[in-house]
Amino acid sequence: MEQEMFKQQFANESQGYGLRQTYLCYEVERWDGSSWVSMAEHQGFLRNQPRSLDSLGRHAELCFLDLLSGWQLDPAQCYRVTWFISWSPCFDCAEHLVAFLGNSNHVKLRIFAARIYPSSRHQEGLQALQRAGAPAAIMSLDEFAYCWNTFVDNQNRPFEPSSGLANAVQYREKELQRILQGL
């Protein structure tokens, strides 16, 4: 991913108004009996497919599920999928993910979001994901740096958070905890 795209989509401190894309960085690990082992061939990023004259579009989460189904992961193995996503999943995507997880006991999902969709319907989706065993959290500064180092063509430049990012992360994490507790 290009540096400016990452900064715009993930690491800015604004609420993200006007950002109509969702970027999803992913990595898949396999449990080897004592630790999680990275599967480098199943690491990358994608974005939602916008509507066009030819297509209704597709959210990034569903694009990932399409990609995952092509990998044909061994159901006898245990896998952990980690997402770093620019927006939390919408309600419809959360429903698809809950159904997928219910049918895929060998796959665990962790979600780290840069921002939360503000609608109460989307918040219900986050609660459903938590009940299905897919914990969501707000990306910490460490996770932003990890994404910068792992998914961004950073040209060996270190991640430099904007001046307000730490406060935004703290605020968003409190908001997410309030949502997950159903308050």
Q: What's the rounded Cα separation, in Å, for the pair 102 and 88? A: 20
Q: Where does 10-116 have alpha helices with state H?
A: 60-71, 91-103
Catalytic one among 4, 61, 143, 160? 61
Q: What's the rounded Cα separation, in Å, for the pair 84 and 164? A: 20
Beta carbons of 36 and 80 less than 8 angstroms apart:
yes
β-strand pairing of 79-85 with 136-138 = unpaired
Reply yes or no on whether 173 is catalytic. no
Q: What's the rounded Cα separation, in Å, for the pair 10 and 145? A: 11
Tally of CB atoms within 10 A around 51:
10
Q: What's the rounded Cα separation, in Å, for the pair 28 and 40? A: 8
Taking the chain, what is the end-to-end CA distance rounded to the nearest angstrom?
A: 36
- Residues noted as catalytic: 61
